[in-house]
A and B are shown apart, each in its own frame.
Chain A
Amino acid sequence: SQELEQSPQSLIVQEGKNLTINCTSSKTLYGLYWYKQKYGEGLIFLMMLQKGGEEKSHEKITAKLDEKKQQSSLHITASQPSHAGIYLCGAAGRGRGGADGLTFGKGTHLIIQP
């Protein structure tokens, strides 16, 4: 099954600073999802990437999928307290859950210091 490595596992960033979270796969990624989770709560969809070299942005968050489709990065510009939480990447179609089943990385815990 698909293994996704997320790095770093945790990140403490001063408010206003930029940061990057990485998601690396041993196999080609098809349908790579980024979610944000507040501790103990539900998942909020951020972005989904499919094509090599694709880049999407929403507000201050940009996600990219590399040309080889084995690595994705999530970049936050000028971080704010509202960005704090757990960021999860999920790859479609690599576990037993059919084409739409997601296999997730273990997450990156982001803390924003005022």
Chain B
Amino acid sequence: EAQVTQNPRYLITVTGKKLTVTCSQNMNHEYMSWYRQDPGLGLRQIYYSMNVEVTDKGDVPEGYKVSRKEKRNFPLILESPSPNQTSLYFCASSTGTGVHRAYNEQFFGPGTRLTVL
């Protein structure tokens, strides 16, 4: 089944304790990205990757890191989490317009609910 998986689904942590949220897709997609969703602010893109070893900042990258060592995985790293990073996080993937020159369906993971105390 074509899907984007995220782990963990729920996480409660404390300020300053490094954490990683994993994201994996099985569709051989080139484009992957991370979003956070907050009440009143909607979904905002954090980081994206157009291919292996190619990552770039989205609209709200502060406090986050990512890596893309393999095509299927795109982990989100919070080196020193703070309470303002409490949010619902989504990973997404798509084939990318660079390949097909047309917009394609973007697949979203189930979400990771993070609470930073």
Residues of chain A touching chain B, judged by Cβ–Cβ distance below 8 Å, are 1, 30-31, 33, 35, 40-43, 45, 48, 50, 88, 90, 92-93, 95-107
Contact = CB atoms under 8 A, between A and B. Distances in A.
Contacts of A35: 108
Interface string B35-63: 10000111111001010000011110000
Given A41-B111, A104-B42, A104-B43, A99 B106 contact: no
B102 interface: yes
Q: How large is the interface on B (under 10, 10 to 19, 20 to 34, 35 or more residues)?
A: 20 to 34
Given A35-B108, A42-B90, A42-B110, A100 B59 contact: no
A97 B103 contact: no
Given A95-B45, A96-B57, A96-B59, A101 B103 contact: no
A107 B40 CA distance: 9
B97 interface: yes
A95 B45 CA distance: 8
Interface of B: 31, 33, 35, 40-45, 48, 50, 56-59, 88, 90, 92, 94, 96-98, 102-111, 113
Contacts of A42: 90, 108-111
A88 B42 CA distance: 9
Contacts of B56: 96-98
26 contacts: A30-B103, A40-B88, A40-B111, A40-B113, A41-B111, A43-B90, A45-B106, A45-B108, A48-B105, A50-B102, A92-B97, A95-B59, A96-B58, A96-B59, A98-B31, A98-B56, A100-B94, A100-B106, A101-B33, A101-B58, A102-B35, A102-B43, A102-B92, A102-B106, A103-B59, A106-B40
Contacts of A30: 103
A31 B103 contact: yes
Contacts of B105: 45, 48
Contacts of A31: 97, 103
A106 B92 CA distance: 18
B94 to A, nearest CB: 6
Contacts of B103: 30-31, 33, 48, 50, 92, 100
A-B pairs, 9 with minimum CB distance? A31-B103, A43-B108, A104-B43, A106-B42, A42-B110, A97-B45, A99-B97, A97-B58, A97-B48
